[in-house]
């Protein structure tokens, strides 16, 4: 039988994990369940929300420091509480504890420039290690499936070019949760763009609406309901040496606007092109 001693890195990792579990076991019992709740996170969304949810639960449980025990309340009238996982407040000598609820929530969730709770930090590492062991394969499979679905959409759907260079985007752009116009809405918006003097092209499934004004070119994005978005760039000739032309300005024409649209468009275009001439 061959005996192979444990790899020193694995051994250290194992010891670190034990130390972190030890921290967890030393926490007041009322909070242990909350901190251990990472075992119940199944979906990615649950995992992403976990730390904030724990912070919210702890903040809801914690008791404020009695007013007479707060040494220097100063201008603060808010209740304060110490972090129940450590029994110490923020490091500022003028305060005692954290403001409730926001200061303590920030400390626990690690937001902003507040001092991050070292206990939550260690338990978060435990959670990540557990989630990695449990979900890494499923996550990778999910990522592959998403990438394949996206590639299939890009190979068959209309793509929208709203800037010179770069890849054209799908109807919902880089954000799949973004609201998009219906086919009728897109057609209505195209008519509106033509009324502003835009020329619209769709070749090889790539849609572009552009407007040329002297040395400038405006790209339109009509995909989102409620508005037309415009992006002003220098014409490619003047940026021959630049990889990505500089965005000179952007503006919006809302769907609710009915009168003098070409004048409104020109009013908004002028500042961007003037900046460029300076
Ligand atoms: Zn803390």
- Write out the residues surrounding ion ligand 1, Cβ under 5 A: 83, 85-86, 117
Same domain as 170, residue 82: no
> Which domain range does residue 30 map to?
8-135
**CB contact at 8 A, 261 and 249:** no
Q: Which residues pair with 80 in a beta bridge?
A: 99
**Count of domains for the chain:** 2
Angle 152-154-159 from CA coordinates, rounded to 5° = 155
Cα(106) to ligand 1 centroid in Å equals: 10
Same domain as 89, residue 34: yes
Cα(23) to ligand 1 centroid in Å equals: 12
pLDDT attached to residue 74: 58
Q: How far apart are CA 176 and CA 164, in angstroms?
A: 22
Determine the 3-state secondary structure of 150 from DSSP.
helix
Q: How far apart are CA 72 and CA 92, in angstroms?
A: 11
Same domain as 85, residue 41: yes
Average pLDDT over residues 79-84: 89
Helix locations, 157-182, DSSP H: none
Residue 47 lies in a domain: yes
Same domain as 123, residue 28: yes
Helix locations, the chain, DSSP H: 8-26, 29-35, 44-61, 102-109, 118-156, 183-195, 261-277
- pLDDT beyond 50 at 57: yes
* Ramachandran quadrant class, 273 (left: phi over 0; alpha: psi -120 to 50; beta: rest): alpha
How confident is the model over 173-215, as pLDDT tens digits? Answer: 876 678 999 999 999 999 999 999 999 999 999 999 999 988 8
Cα(107) to ligand 1 centroid in Å equals: 6
**CB contact at 8 A, 51 and 106:** no
Residue 173 lies in a domain: yes
Q: What pTM was estimated for this model as a whole?
A: 0.67
2 CB neighbour count, 10 Å cutoff: 3
Average pLDDT over residues 253-270: 95
Residue 205, CA distances (Å) to 150, 151, 153 in order: 16, 14, 12
Cα(264) to ligand 1 centroid in Å equals: 54
The separation between the first and the last C-alpha atoms of the chain, rounded to the nearest angstrom, is 80
Q: How far apart are CA 115 and CA 12, in angstroms?
A: 27
Residue 266 lies in a domain: yes
Same domain as 189, residue 127: no
Angle 223-224-228 from CA coordinates, rounded to 5° = 80
235 — pLDDT class (breaks 50, 70, 90) = confident
Residue 258 lies in a domain: yes
Same domain as 189, residue 128: no
pLDDT attached to residue 94: 47
Cα(273) to ligand 1 centroid in Å equals: 53
Same domain as 190, residue 124: no
């Amino acid at each position: 039988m061959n005996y192979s001693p444990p790899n020193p890195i694995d051994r250290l990792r194992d010891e670190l994990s034990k130390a972190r579990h030890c921290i967890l076991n030393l926490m007041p019992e009322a909070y242990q369940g909350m901190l251990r709740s990472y075992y119940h996170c199944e979906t990615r969304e649950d995992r992403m929300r976990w730390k904030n949810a724990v912070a919210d639960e702890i903040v809801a449980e914690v008791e404020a420091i009695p007013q007479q025990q707060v040494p220097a309340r100063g201008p603060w009238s808010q209740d304060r509480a110490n972090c129940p996982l450590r029994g110490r407040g923020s490091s500022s000598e003028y305060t005692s504890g954290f403001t409730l609820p926001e200061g303590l929530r920030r400390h626990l969730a690690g937001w902003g420039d507040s001092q991050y709770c070292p206990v939550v930090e260690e338990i978060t590492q435990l959670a990540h290690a557990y989630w990695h062991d449990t979900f890494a394969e499923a996550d990778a499979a999910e990522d592959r499936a998403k990438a394949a679905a996206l590639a299939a959409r890009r190979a068959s759907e209309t793509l929208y070019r709203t800037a010179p260079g770069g890849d054209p985007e799908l109807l919902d752009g880089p954000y799949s949760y973004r609201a998009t116009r219906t086919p009728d809405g897109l057609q209505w918006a195209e008519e509106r763009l033509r009324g502003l003097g835009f020329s619209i092209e769709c070749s090889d499934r790539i849609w572009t609406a552009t407007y040329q004004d002297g040395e400038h070119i405006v790209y339109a994005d009509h995909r989102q309901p409620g508005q037309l978005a415009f992006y002003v760039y220098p014409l490619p000739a003047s940026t021959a040496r630049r990889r990505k032309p500089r965005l000179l300005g952007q503006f919006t024409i809302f769907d609710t606007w009915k009168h003098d649209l070409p004048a409104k468009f020109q009013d908004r275009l002028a500042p961007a092109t003037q900046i460029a001439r300076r």
